[in-house]
Structure 1
């Protein structure tokens, strides 16, 4: 099976996503979605990614809970800023965060978490210096942001992937 379809779970996920996005299970959509998913699986096989190893499933659940809570909090905070309800001393800006995390999958998850959280945006990662350039909508205290990212996210990602 692996010779014909190198990533069967990826195939099923992409095929289901195609059908959901098109809101149709017509024969044409079924076939075209399967062809797209099949091609994407072979493109992924050509890239040859190293397998991800999750070392602590419990940490994955804790991270998901933290991200869910933080996304809700950030939505409220950004809404307050947009509506002019936040204190006037708030400013946006760029900051750097030194990271101990080196695993590619961990860095990818961190980038998704930070970009998906309203008010923050992953801008750049310097792998030589292991520094993250981050844009923050509500940048009052850089040290607080560094501590938040390292304590709430990076520590769990290191536990999960390294």
Structure 2
């Protein structure tokens, strides 16, 4: 088969297929449509991927995703309590996070994870990819936030990508 019509990003194709099945269901028609989409979409977007993303240990993504889902649920409850509580004012802050990770896809996943978690958002990445600016809705200690991000997310992503 011509390389042009193969799977330029097999992991992306596999992920698209799984997400499609979770959203649409697992009937025969949806499986066929999911396979077609998982083949076509990476082909159409391959020009936007200058380098093929390299994941050293893809099996480490499963516990990472489960950890992120749990953190999203916990953070949602915390933010809801903060919003519904009239007793104390939130302490919003911008925090500069020094990245130890160098892999571009890992940095992107870290920034996305931070933005997915309620109460925090990745505001900017420095031009040299060594600093991440994070806005948090309620921060009592900047260093505690930095250590939490490093220990829960960045270390796990470094295992996956580096």
**TM-score tier (shorter):** 0.7 to 0.9
Q: Which residue of 1 aligns with 2:64?
A: 63
**Alpha-carbon shift at residue 97 of structure 1 (Å):** 0.6
**Alpha-carbon shift at residue 11 of structure 1 (Å):** 5.4
Task: Structure 1 unaligned segments of length 5 or more: list them.
Answer: none
Task: Structure 2 unaligned segments of length 5 or more: list them.
Answer: none
Q: Secondary structure at the match of 1:102?
A: coil
Contact 1:78 1:119 (C-alpha < 8 Å) held by counterparts: yes
* d(CA) in 2 for partners of 1:74, 1:145: 13
Q: How many residues align?
A: 155
Contact 1:5 1:41 (C-alpha < 8 Å) held by counterparts: no
Q: Secondary structure at the match of 1:124?
A: strand
Q: Secondary structure at the match of 2:88?
A: coil
**Alpha-carbon shift at residue 127 of structure 1 (Å):** 4.1
Larger radius of gyration: 1
Q: Which residue of 2 aligns with 1:52?
A: 54
Spell out, residue by residue over 1:94-149, the C-alpha distance to the aligned partner (whole angstroms, 9 max, x if none): 11111101101111211221111100101111142611000101111101100101
In the TM superposition, structure 1's runs of 4+ consecutive aligned residues that sit over 6 Å from their partners are: none
Deviates more, 1:44-53 or 1:132-141: 44-53
Contact 1:71 1:118 (C-alpha < 8 Å) held by counterparts: yes
TM-score (normalizing by structure 1): 0.75
CA RMSD of aligned residues (A): 3.4
**Alpha-carbon shift at residue 7 of structure 1 (Å):** 3.4
**Alpha-carbon shift at residue 36 of structure 1 (Å):** 10
